């Protein structure tokens, strides 16, 4: 009975509910990234990331010679987003915090992958704002007594 109340609670908070859906969609996109990296390694698809010239030379070198070395990063973020989405749908605080941490780390790391990650930075920002607004709602900064 308590689980049913929790699920209804997240649906009543529109910001958190939309953030949950977006986080789930985002995790599916991360899974697609992971699959594409594997397909690049198997030479099934060309390495389209080589079209972009990244400012950080290490990233450029890894994408050219060892794209598999970046796969664990994709897998870690995929796992974090899936766990966060599940936690958010279950109305669990740990889902919120895992989402916040993964979004902040992604926003910081996306600077390294510009211009490729511009859309990712925008998506993370939208989900981050929805999570924070949904969590704090109308709580004032200073409560007057």
User: Looking up tokens 């308590």, which residue turns up?
Assistant: 2
What is the per-residue DSSP string for 62-121? HHHH-GGGGHHHHHHHHHHHHHHHHHHHTT-HHHHHHHHHHHHHHHHHHTTTTTTTHHHH
What pLDDT, on a 0 to 100 scale, did the predictor assign at position 59? 66
Identify the burial level of 111 via C-beta atoms within 10 angstroms of its C-beta, where 0-12 means exposed, 13-18 middle and 19 or more buried: exposed
Sign of CA dihedral 88, 90, 92, 98: negative
Q: Tell me the C-alpha distance between 10 and 86, whole Å.
A: 12
- pTM of the model as a whole: 0.78
What pLDDT, on a 0 to 100 scale, did the predictor assign at position 35? 83
CB count, 10 Å around CB of 10?
Answer: 19
Q: Tell me the C-alpha distance between 110 and 42, whole Å.
A: 26
Strands (E), the chain: none
Residues of the chain with pLDDT > 70: what percent? Answer: 80
Average pLDDT score over the chain: 82
Query: 22 is in which domain, residue-wise?
Result: 2-136
**8 found inside a domain:** yes
Tens digit of each residue's pLDDT (9 = 90 or more) over 58-116: 666 776 677 677 778 878 888 999 999 999 989 899 999 999 999 999 999 888 777 66
pLDDT exceeds cutoff 80 at 46: no
Domain count, the chain: 1
**88 found inside a domain:** yes
**142 found inside a domain:** no
pLDDT exceeds cutoff 60 at 30: yes
Q: Are 81 and 27 in contact (CB under 8 A)?
A: yes
37 or 19, greater pLDDT: 19
**143 found inside a domain:** no
Query: Which of 125, 84, 134, 95 has its CA nearest to residue 107?
Result: 125
What pLDDT, on a 0 to 100 scale, did the predictor assign at position 4? 54
User: Looking up tokens 């939309």, which residue turns up?
Assistant: 18
**16 found inside a domain:** yes
pLDDT exceeds cutoff 70 at 53: no
């Amino acid at each position: 009975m308590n689980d049913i109340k929790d699920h209804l609670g997240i649906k009543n908070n529109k910001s958190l509910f939309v953030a949950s859906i977006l986080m789930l969609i985002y995790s599916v996109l991360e899974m697609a990234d992971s699959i594409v990296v594997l397909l690049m390694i198997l030479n099934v698809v060309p390495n389209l990331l080589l079209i972009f010239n990244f400012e950080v030379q290490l990233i450029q070198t890894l994408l050219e010679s060892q794209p598999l070395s970046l796969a664990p990063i994709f897998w870690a973020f995929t796992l974090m987003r899936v766990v966060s989405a599940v936690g958010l749908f279950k109305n669990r605080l740990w889902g919120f915090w895992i989402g916040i941490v993964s979004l902040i780390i992604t926003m910081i790391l996306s600077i390294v992958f510009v211009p490729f990650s511009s859309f990712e930075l925008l998506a993370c920002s939208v989900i981050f704002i929805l999570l924070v607004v949904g969590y704090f709602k109308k709580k004032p900064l200073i409560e007057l007594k």
